[in-house]
Structure 1
Amino acid sequence: MADFGRLLTAMVTPFDDKGELSLERTTALVEYLIEHQTEGLVVAGTTGESPTLSKDEKLKLFEHVVKVVDGRIPVIVGTGSNNTAESVEFSRKAEALGVDGIMIVAPYYNKPNQEGLYQHFKTIAESINVPVMIYNIPGRSSVNITAETIIRLSEIDNITSVKEASGNLDQMAAIIRGTSDDFILYSGDDGLTLPVLSIGGHGVISVASHVIGDGMSNMIQDFLSGNHEDAAKQHLKYLPVMRELFAAPSPVPVKALLSQVGVETGPVRLPMVDLTEEEKSSLTKIFKEL
């Protein structure tokens, strides 16, 4: 089983004040996340503004994060696109940098059917040797990878996990029921962390862990140790912040909060824009109340 941990952070990509990739700020962010209980990093996913990163920037980022982490926690990197052949080539380049796993997003825009999705993931997985995580996010890709397709894909040796961001607990339960015990399902939504754990999910790939990592870790550990009442109390405590982090397009709110806690990750890139003053005020108020 390729167990990447229970609490993984979908890491933002740090830029300098001019919007260029900042390796110095990346180092500081990685150290901060590890200090606050992150058990694995997912680099250049949705939260990492992957659509606005060039392939060269991604490879530079992957190489740097692997070097900084130095084996302390797993590093999983996003290499998928809606072009299968291109995803194969890019995944091979990422693998050569020493990453611990590859995350492949569902092909977006071209809207393949379920057989097309199956062949897409199968082709990429069979071209590399590291573990592959499926990323199902129909709200952004406009296609849902069904439970049946994920179960079928789980039979491929190095497809070991899925980040489920469909928000559909029935689908997640069907995946957990239909896959072997060594296939791992992660929640792709912070607010569903506890519900997903309760149906047999393994953990979460989190945005909120950038700013409440210790709390998220405590909640997960309380649940796993049988302290379900305390876990539920923490879930309710952190839920307003989890929701506020998606009140504006992600990762705009989480980058703003990181700055408030003294971790500079720079601006977002267009077509993302900064928070309005009203949005900043609401975010700050809820975080301070927490």
Structure 2
Amino acid sequence: MNLGSVVTAMVTPFNEQGGVDYDKLPQLMDILISRGTEAVIVGGTTGESATLSMEEKAKLYKASASASNGRIPVIAGTGMNDTHATAKLSIQAEKDGVDGVMLVAPYYNKPSQKGMYEHFKTIAEKLSVPVMIYNVPGRTMVNILPETTIALSAVTNITAVKEASGNLDQMTAIIANTPKDFRVYSGDDSLTLPSLAVGADGIVSVSSHVIGAEMQDMVRLYRSGKIEEAARLHQHLVPFMKAMFIAPSPSPVKTALHMQGVETGGVRLPLIPLTESEREIVQKALDEVANLQQFPY
């Protein structure tokens, strides 16, 4: 499955009562596609999966697949720290029409490398759709070592990894020792260009909700050999990317979307809205991105 270069970890729209606003999904999907998104992850970290019920997740996957209507792949973030529950939700997501699933490393349990291998392999073998592994040790407190990811790449339908360790050496080892058709994506927006330089396929991004087109420009510049131009654009985009993480995600990006007139609602506790000073940082970052055309990249 080709996910392209820029994959968006999509926010989950909420209504004023805090419920999932499924009616907003078609508009949000249209906007993301228009901004350069080539695939979406739904119900992942940015989608506030930790506070979504199982019923909400299942309905979200189905509604997102419907909103895409085959235009771009929809990947369901079905991963949890319970292997049986993850398998059950993943099977349901496949039945509901998603194009693949993303499985985060089991959090809180702190499993061994062998335990994580068995977790991912057990689930993948129950599915027909492609599986993306998600390594984000800053949230899960476990790091999927390169050797484990490399071993998992031999499982037929484990076809990709979202590597959000921030460790380029780790990413390089995975790229160098997995099959050519195994896709490696950075999970850190500000490492998009450095990740491409070591051979990554692209980025699973939060910032692409707003600057997806500019990120696509950066990828195209790099791949066409215009390295200096890509680097200049990277330098101009990093401040916005950093602004999207001044508070726990997705509060900043939902605020940025609101400032652009794209309503996706607030966040669920224990996440909270941005402070006024944080909102000012986001607004400044948006203004700077809006003026990006003045920079000769």
User: Is it true that 1:249 corresponds to 2:248 in the alignment?
Assistant: yes
Aligned mates of 1:15, 1:94 — CA distance in 2? 21
Residue 60 of structure 2 aligns with an amino acid whose one-letter code is L
- Deviation readout 1:60-113 (Å, 9 max, x if unpaired): 111111111111110001111110011111110000011111000000000000
User: Is it true that 1:179 corresponds to 2:178 in the alignment?
Assistant: yes
Aligned mates of 2:55, 2:276 — CA distance in 1? 34
- Deviation readout 1:154-206 (Å, 9 max, x if unpaired): 00010000000000000000000110101010000100000000010000000
Aligned residue number for residue 146 of structure 2: 147
Aligned residue number for residue 7 of structure 2: 8
User: Is it true that 1:130 corresponds to 2:123 in the alignment?
Assistant: no
User: Is it true that 1:206 corresponds to 2:208 in the alignment?
Assistant: no
**Offset, 1:207:** 0.3
Aligned residue number for residue 168 of structure 1: 167
* Cα RMSD for the two superposed structures: 0.7
TM-score by length of 1: 0.98
Secondary structure of residue in 1 paired with 2:175: helix
Residue 9 of structure 2 aligns with an amino acid whose one-letter code is A
Aligned mates of 2:281, 2:64 — CA distance in 1? 32
Count of residue pairs the alignment pairs up: 289
* Equivalent residues in 2 for 1:21-170, closer than 5 Å: 21-170=20-169
Aligned mates of 2:195, 2:3 — CA distance in 1? 17
Secondary structure of residue in 1 paired with 2:41: strand
Residue 92 of structure 2 aligns with an amino acid whose one-letter code is K
Runs of 5+ unmatched residues, structure 1 = none
Secondary structure of residue in 2 paired with 1:14: coil
Aligned residue number for residue 20 of structure 1: 19
Secondary structure of residue in 2 paired with 1:31: helix
- Deviation readout 1:236-256 (Å, 9 max, x if unpaired): 000001001001100000000
Runs of 5+ unmatched residues, structure 2 = 290-297
Aligned mates of 1:43, 1:224 — CA distance in 2? 28
Aligned mates of 2:22, 2:88 — CA distance in 1? 24
**Offset, 1:226:** 1.2
Aligned residue number for residue 268 of structure 2: 269
**Offset, 1:23:** 1.3
Aligned residue number for residue 292 of structure 2: none
Residue 220 of structure 1 aligns with an amino acid whose one-letter code is V
**Offset, 1:289:** 2.2
**Offset, 1:286:** 2.3
Aligned mates of 2:33, 2:117 — CA distance in 1? 34
Percent identity of equivalent pairs? 54
Aligned mates of 1:208, 1:194 — CA distance in 2? 14
Aligned mates of 2:212, 2:93 — CA distance in 1? 27
Secondary structure of residue in 2 paired with 1:16: coil
Residue 132 of structure 2 aligns with an amino acid whose one-letter code is M
Q: Which moved more, 1:21-30 or 1:236-245?
A: 21-30
Q: Which moved more, 1:18-27 or 1:138-147?
A: 18-27
Aligned mates of 1:158, 1:227 — CA distance in 2? 35
Q: Which moved more, 1:63-72 or 1:149-158?
A: 63-72
Structure 1 stretches of at least 4 aligned residues deviating more than 3 Å after TM superposition? none
**Offset, 1:48:** 0.3
Aligned mates of 1:52, 1:222 — CA distance in 2? 39
Aligned mates of 1:26, 1:211 — CA distance in 2? 16
Aligned mates of 1:281, 1:239 — CA distance in 2? 17
Residue 178 of structure 1 aligns with an amino acid whose one-letter code is N
